[in-house]
């Protein structure tokens, strides 16, 4: 298949073309996450080159941060709707999910990460000068959607080096064995004291370490080419500081996120029922500008926890997770602070 | 009716209470424009005090800039949906529109504005030293939704001073005689060479002057307490500069706004059909951050013209109106540049 534009990824144009023809589609909606939006016009060109002239291609201009974040307006108005860059959170006949995999080689950084993992065998432990009795040769392995295509190879690579590798598929929210999301680390719930996370960014391994405090989480980041061991201290300090600020709040905004995979109605409703000074606010994008105008003392975000913890400091009033809210209002002790995770689809 | 919070406006709580009771509503959605969002929690409190405990009140956290901009997600999920601060663009059984009127007195600034209007009578003209033959004693009168409650008084006030006052109700997009919107000045299409605009802000009178270049537009702004005569020169210079920049564009993003009263599908489709290097982008909020990632050379915004003209300079690529697009691509002459207006509802 000849393409108008060169690119590194496989956009599965034939699958899209087939769906357009089979459904006799007149409208096709394409949704890309932020980092891939730039590719949108070229992909639209390629699809236009494959199908009838009367097919209208539409690009979603809504922000998109995950498979939880489908453009439902565009989806409803498209005969074929294609979501690029994430693995399916929930299968649907309407949606074509096109995962886009990183072409970064993970093995050089995995090689470096071995120095942070407990040695795989008694011999290796002796060689490193570690007490062989203390060696647990097992390791859990997790990664993100964009490295999922190499997951089998990663596992074999560790096994070849003597490790017993534990993997599992977390829950319904996840498509693949070994996959983690920013809001779900159930795939790391394995019988091993150490977990190797292969992937970019800080958020996923932090959540992983918070969710599994009893495990050592080693981060092999092939994108930034660094190995680190997840340290939750700084994160916890920030969260405690925010919770303390929120303790002074008299009025609360309770955010219910309207994005298809980010709504937790029961959590929001329970807080409302419990607190006469809490006001329910519905919104898709949760941003400082949108909340400032309400003039409330604090917010509890039942939507994406990544916004609460990563973007939180940008909000003019403290923003906490539902679990942190219970601490801030005195229903739970400070020690109960944990990472906010999502389970299930929608 | 005793209210928990003092306020200047009439939120028509009895009408809302009645609707909740009549419809046996379990969910009530409240939407406020940006400047009134701060009142949301207090209004929610007052409604909670009037109805059964099991009624859930929800505040829209979406940005809101007009009656064209209803939170359709919240509307669909509410048994009673109340839109505050704008007059109805389209009546619906589902929606309760609560207009909120300014309590600023318009007459002191109208008194000052008389110096800029042609005198009402031959005697008045002679007194001012104006040639009585050149006097057209007629004046058109327009205002915005928030001053609409005084419109009758304004008209009488001018008539008492000798003016023949011309008013009309523009088209379906408008609720009231004499009302103008940022995107619709049909109410000023009257048989008078001068129009008095009573209201705040710069955008409305500018659009008014652009839409009716043959008329003198006198602005009596009771909010900022100033009288000016609308001058479109600076505005036109900015628009021509943007159009010139857009002339170099090879690739175009065509924005279709998904807000209920801001979609012009035919305009967007016509541009797409005409231009192979144009890509349709669907979105609700049209912001620089959302468009930057597409990496396109220029944008034509078929949504709210106010974004194109007011926020345009903040976008990394030039953004033009559909009419300006026709100039930029050479289909229309430079002289055809005009203000972009909306007609009809949705």
What pLDDT, on a 0 to 100 scale, did the predictor assign at position A127? 84
| C-alpha–C-alpha distance, residues B169 and B206, integer Å | 19
Query: Is the model's pLDDT at A132 over the cut of 90?
Result: no
Q: Which helix (H) or strand (E) holds A274?
A: helix A265-274
Write out the two tokens for A56: 């209208």
Q: ipTM score of the complex?
A: 0.91
pLDDT score, position B2: 38
b/e string for A247-286 if b means 16 or more Cβ within 10 A?
eebebbbbbbbbbbbbbbeebbebbbeeeeebbbbbbbbb
State the smallest CA–CA distance between residue A44 and chain B in angstroms: 8
- Chains A, B: CB contacts within 8 A come to 111
Q: How confident is the model at residue A84 (pLDDT cuts 50, 70, 90)?
A: very high
Cβ-nearest to A283 among B62, B289, B293? B62
Residue of chain B whose alpha carbon sits nearest to that of A72:
B73
Q: Residue A280 and residue B63: Cβ atoms within 8 Å?
A: no
Asked whether the beta carbons of A127 and A210 are under 8 A apart, the reply is no
pLDDT of residue B205 exceeding 60: yes
Bigger pLDDT: A318 or A93?
Answer: A318
Q: Do B281 and A34 touch (CB under 8 A)?
A: no
CB contact under 8 A, A60 and B281: yes
Q: What is the largest CA-CA distance in chain B?
A: 71
Is A15's pLDDT higher than 80? yes
Say if residue A4 is exposed, middle or buried (CB neighbours under 10 Å; 0-12, 13-18, 19+).
exposed
For residue B21, what are the CA distances in angstroms to A182, A312, B17, B28, B79? Answer: 43, 39, 6, 11, 11
Residue B316 pLDDT class (50, 70, 90 cuts): very high
Query: What is the value of pTM for the model shown?
Result: 0.92
- Whether residues B56 and A290 touch (CB distance < 8 A) is answered with no
Say yes or no for a CB contact (<8 Å) between A37 and B294: yes
Chain B closest-CA separation from residue A272 CA (Å): 9
Question: Is A279 at the interface with chain B, CB within 8 A?
Answer: yes
pLDDT band of residue B122 (cuts 50, 70, 90) is: confident
pLDDT at A6 over 50: no
Confidence of residue A134 (pLDDT cuts 50, 70, 90): low
Question: Does residue B209 register a pLDDT over 80?
Answer: yes
Helix (H/G/I), strand (E/B), else coil: A313: helix
Q: What is the pLDDT of residues B139-167, one digit of tens each?
A: 999 999 989 999 999 999 999 999 999 99
Residues of B in contact with A44 (CB under 8 A): 279
Please choose, from the candidates B323, B322, B317, the residue with its C-alpha nearest in 3D space to the C-alpha of residue B336: B323
Q: Which two tokens stand for residue A63?
A: 């922000």
Residues A44, B279: C-beta atoms closer than 8 Å: yes
- Residues A61, B272: C-beta atoms closer than 8 Å: no
Least confident interval from A164-168, A297-301, A341-345: A341-345
Q: Give the model's pLDDT for residue A103.
A: 86
A61 contacts B294? CB cut-off 8 A: yes
Residue A204 Cα distances to A24, A201, A225, A314, B240, angstroms: 41, 7, 16, 20, 48
A329/A322 Cα distance (integer angstroms): 11
For B261-293, write each residue's pLDDT tens digit. Answer: 999 999 999 999 999 999 999 999 999 999 999
Percent residues over pLDDT 90 in chain A:
79
pLDDT of residue B186: 93
Residue B346: what pLDDT?
Answer: 85
User: What is the average per-residue pLDDT within B231-239?
Assistant: 92
Read off the pLDDT of residues B61-115 as tens digits, 9 standing for 90 and up: 999 999 999 999 999 999 999 999 999 999 888 899 999 998 899 999 999 999 9
Q: What is the pLDDT of residues A99-124, one digit of tens each?
A: 999 889 999 999 999 999 999 888 88
On average, the pLDDT of chain B sits at 93
Q: What value does the mean pLDDT take over residues A31-35?
A: 94
* Interchain CB distance below 8 Å, B295 and A41: yes
A269: contact with B, CB 8 A cutoff: yes
Crossing angle of helices A203-211 and A233-246, rounded to 10°: 80
Residue B127's pLDDT is what? 84
Which of A71, A97, A106, A93 has its CA nearest to residue A175?
A97
Say yes or no to pLDDT of A262 above 80: yes
Name the residue with tokens 């002289």.
B335
Point out the residue among A73, A289, A290 whose CB comes nearest to the CB of B282. Answer: A73
According to the model, what pLDDT value does residue B3 have? 44
Beta bridge partner(s), residue B226: B221
A332 touching chain B per CB within 8 A: no
Pairing of strands A298-301, A319-320: parallel
Distances (CA, A) of A322 to A79, A327, B53, B58: 38, 9, 23, 18
| Cβ-nearest to A294 among B38, B251, B296 | B38
| pLDDT-based confidence at residue A125 (cuts at 50, 70, 90) | confident
Partners of B83 in the β-ladder = B31, B97
């Amino acid at each position: 298949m000849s393409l108008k534009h060169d690119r590194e990824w496989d956009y599965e144009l034939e699958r899209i073309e087939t769906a357009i023809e089979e459904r006799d589609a007149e409208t096709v909606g394409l949704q890309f996450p932020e980092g891939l939006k730039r590719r949108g016009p070229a992909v639209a060109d390629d699809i236009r080159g494959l199908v009838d002239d009367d097919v209208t291609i539409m690009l979603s201009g809504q922000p998109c941060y995950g498979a939880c974040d489908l453009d439902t307006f565009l989806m409803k108005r498209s005969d074929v709707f294609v979501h690029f860059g994430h693995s399916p959170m929930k299968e649907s006949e309407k949606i074509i999910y096109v995962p886009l995999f990183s072409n970064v080689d993970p093995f050089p950084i995995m090689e470096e990460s071995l120095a942070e993992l407990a040695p795989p065998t008694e011999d290796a432990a002796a060689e490193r000068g570690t007490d062989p009795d203390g060696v647990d040769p097992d390791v859990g392995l997790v990664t993100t959607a964009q490295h999922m295509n190499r997951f089998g190879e990663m596992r074999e690579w560790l096994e070849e080096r003597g490790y017993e590798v534990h993997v599992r598929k977390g829950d319904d929210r996840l498509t693949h064995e070994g996959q983690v999301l920013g809001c779900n680390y159930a795939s790391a719930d394995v019988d091993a004291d150490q977990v190797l996370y292969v992937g970019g960014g800080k958020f996923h391994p932090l959540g992983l370490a918070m969710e599994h405090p009893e495990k050592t989480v080693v981060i092999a980041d092939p994108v930034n080419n660094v190995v680190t061991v997840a340290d939750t201290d700084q994160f916890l300090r920030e969260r405690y500081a925010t919770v303390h600020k929120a303790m002074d709040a008299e009025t609360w905004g309770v955010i219910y996120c309207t994005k298809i995979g980010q709504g937790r109605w029961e959590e929001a409703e329970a807080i409302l029922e419990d607190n006469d000074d809490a006001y329910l606010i519905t919104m898709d994008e949760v941003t400082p500008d949108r909340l400032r105008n309400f003039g409330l003392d604090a917010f509890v975000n039942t939507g994406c926890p990544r916004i609460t913890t990563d973007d939180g400091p940008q909000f003019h009033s403290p923003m906490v997770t539902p679990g942190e809210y219970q601490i801030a209002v005195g229903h739970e002790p400070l020690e109960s602070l944990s990472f906010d995770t999502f389970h299930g689809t929608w």
